[in-house]
Structure 1
């Protein structure tokens, strides 16, 4: 066990801090759509200019430069719209900085792997923790050139980070690159241009507590009426007082609608965003708000009623229910999903699988779900797994970040907590200790099912293995108790073993009555012997 790394402790994942709901804007008139397009284009241009100014500031950004940018935007829109644009710009710049740091870590991991493998003799076998030497001199040569390329790329990215430069594309870099591959994307130039412009629009407003219905720029009444405060250059398009435009469409949030209605009735902050889905030709409105920080459930409380362990795989969740003593209950459950296709399809598949998982967990009457604290950031590098391209694609395809975020938010709505555990050795130890013993003629056990048991036991605070070897010498506890043993006051399923017989010596029961002798069999060959050979200890032999 000397090579086993130290395992991190389990912890209860904090609950969600925000909520977002969406509804479709139906029955919009041509005038409504033209106004929304005009507002989106105008404010989108302002957002692009502000992002350019923010990137030019770099690390020299301060509260004064932020205020200066906001004053310049206020004259072309309004104070609230300018505040929303500058806030969105700052968040986008900060996200680019975090992605830049993650990219540097990926490059450093690849460089370390290449340097290690290039330093080994050709054909040197590898280990489970590190790769060996390359198989031929040709491969060694190509990898040495790749090392030089990665080092140059790493130096350029580090120089950008030290100078405060980031690479940001309003509208998305992927959509921008699609312009050069229209045939593969099955798009025409006109359709791509429509999507590109729609992604660069900006029709959003942050909420303000104390203002009417929680938002002064985009206002929604309790009856669902939507009105927008137009920017100064577009004030002539207003159809109501105070430079506002009221849409003919109304909204009604079916999901969390009561919570949203309570917030706007109390004039609490609610943020709104309007966007166009160009593929369907539909307009949508998204409402979001923050929730107060709720104290998470203590770990001991989460373990009180058992645990459901979930093993995350490329195409399904493997779940197993364990009681509070760590004993498997019932059969394993699988919740499949398909991560192929578009992003919307993958997201829907994850939601449906998590919904089925949470509903089943509620039926088992547990208080928490145990899941691995997965992070494949360092595992996706190309140099980590060499030619195992399919395995790298498999790891990259598992949406660990989105999965954890959705599971936490969806479980919180059902009153369940999430316990994150260290993912080390769960599959190996689960298969070693639990896969074979639980196989029956009517129940199969896969490696993923056994990993679910290992995850749940680790979340409950139990070791993964079922039991340890007995103490040395003999069956007594002369050398000490077993390392895995129930506490004295908690028998659980380890009850006192009943006595092997209930009668005393001589055939007399403890209450003094003698039992009836067994009757002899009618079959001669099966008849018991009536005489037994007994040696007299006082008899002498000559």
Structure 2
């Protein structure tokens, strides 16, 4: 920023109501399975998993040359060794996996370009050149400059290879997961034996997913679940001899009961609406699970004006908690701030449970407050994690990398829609800075010590309500007649009466002016010149 010129703030996007979820997924355990039942499920998963691996390889080999004819040819080749419906599910999953890998490759190319731009800028600066607020400076030593120049060359090589893969339509996919594949070479660090790793690897590469079909019996012909919870599977052709019921089907003992959204699932299967199923095995627990999923009509979001009608709860997402504060429709904080903590250590299931528990507490708080919407920041740390941008700030990179912003937003939108609350997303620009500057200290009391995150929650909610974040400020001390500008930073130039008086509420307790001074409040001469009063002016006009 050049001295003498005001800093230009970046434009702030308008708030919007987030779109609700378009799908539902519920899960239940397959209980009372005998060893023979588990063996049959494993055989089906391994057979179909081998077919899925070969089909994914064929899809990746086609690249950009893939078309409807090639898709149909792959499906015909799989139908003879499985069934038409199994073949359709396998080919569709392969296509989705290839498309996901393409999106990941595009994101990788963008990250490499951002890193190269920052390294090129810093290498072009003189050694020891201090950086500005929005532009990093040069490197501290010649040795560091040399190391970063080597890294820039490495990133350029990676970028060239990635762009070539993108143009050729080549993707790199590992069925079972690249992380689990790499764990095979570090079993000691992972605390696993080779047999344990092999069990997880085989479980991850199995394929037991069936797409639903509207109009078919119970919404799925391949994996059929009756309204009372009985599960039967259409066996592939090579495994048809394992059937224990008619028409080449294998029926599992026990019943599944979906405790969550069970009524909605039962309504769909009774109406023969499409329901997709996936059976998978958890080797750590030694249990089989069934997941049911279906699409639902897009949830109609309420207008932004309706979301603001009853006030709003502002939420600031942090690495270990959600900071929330209730604001009325005028943008005034009500009550005390609330904090909903979570611990993101441990496995993925534990982290997901912690997030759901924190969001549940937040939703209960919003429902008790009587609001119809929750305000959150539209955060995206995709470009904020690179080591080139933050350099030695390793702890900060770890902090923002550990914040599950995407999962938090997805969970919050889905769970809020289930309880009838809307989610308003706002631009995150300057919310933490202005919230701490204008609201943290003014909201402090002897019994309440707001944090910077509490101030950010107020700023987020005020932006969602359509108010400015900055509070009203008094007139300049050196000139109470508005010589340095109008009285309030909230009053825009086009607001009627912005130069008018602001009489306070009368009364000795509020230390305001008596009621009769309201007449003289708008007369600047009455305030600054002796011998000229508003009463005298009124008397002259009366004559």
Give the distance between the partners of 1:77 and 1:503, measured in 2 at CA: 92
Unaligned runs of 5+ in 1: 505-542
| 1:210 corresponds to 2:218 | no
What is the match of residue 506 of structure 2?
498
What is the match of residue 264 of structure 2?
259
Give the distance between the partners of 1:185 and 1:88, measured in 2 at CA: 30
Unaligned runs of 5+ in 2: 1-5, 508-512, 518-543
| 1:341 corresponds to 2:334 | no
CA-CA distance at 1:481 after TM superposition? 7.4
Structure 1 residues 469 and 224: CA distance shift in structure 2, 3 A: same
What is the match of residue 397 of structure 2?
392
CA-CA distance at 1:408 after TM superposition? 0.5
What is the match of residue 529 of structure 2?
none
Give the distance between the partners of 2:459 and 2:275, measured in 1 at CA: 42
1:456 aligned to which of 461, 466, 473: 461
Aligned ranges for residues 28-427 of structure 1 at < 5 Å? Answer: 28-427=33-432
CA-CA distance at 1:474 after TM superposition? 4.1
What is the match of residue 436 of structure 1?
441
What is the match of residue 490 of structure 2?
484
CA-CA distance at 1:343 after TM superposition? 1.4
User: Partner of 1:248: helix, strand, or coil?
Assistant: coil
Computed over aligned residues only, the root mean square deviation of the Cα atoms, in angstroms, reads: 2.0
CA-CA distance at 1:498 after TM superposition? 3.4
| 1:13 corresponds to 2:21 | no
Structure 1 residues 26-59: Cα deviation after superposition (integer angstroms, max 9, x where no partner): 1101111111001000000000000000000001
CA-CA distance at 1:502 after TM superposition? 7.6
Give the distance between the partners of 2:199 and 2:21, measured in 1 at CA: 35
TM-score normalized by structure 2? 0.89
CA-CA distance at 1:496 after TM superposition? 7.0
Structure 1 residues 386 and 223: CA distance shift in structure 2, 3 A: same
Structure 1 residues 479 and 392: CA distance shift in structure 2, 3 A: closer
128-137 vs 448-457, greater mean Cα deviation: 128-137
User: Partner of 2:382: helix, strand, or coil?
Assistant: coil
288-297 vs 463-472, greater mean Cα deviation: 463-472
CA-CA distance at 1:128 after TM superposition? 2.0
CA-CA distance at 1:345 after TM superposition? 1.4
Give the distance between the partners of 1:503 and 1:169, measured in 2 at CA: 81
Structure 1 residues 477 and 104: CA distance shift in structure 2, 3 A: same
CA-CA distance at 1:400 after TM superposition? 1.2
Give the distance between the partners of 2:330 and 2:503, measured in 1 at CA: 14
Give the distance between the partners of 2:47 and 2:173, measured in 1 at CA: 20
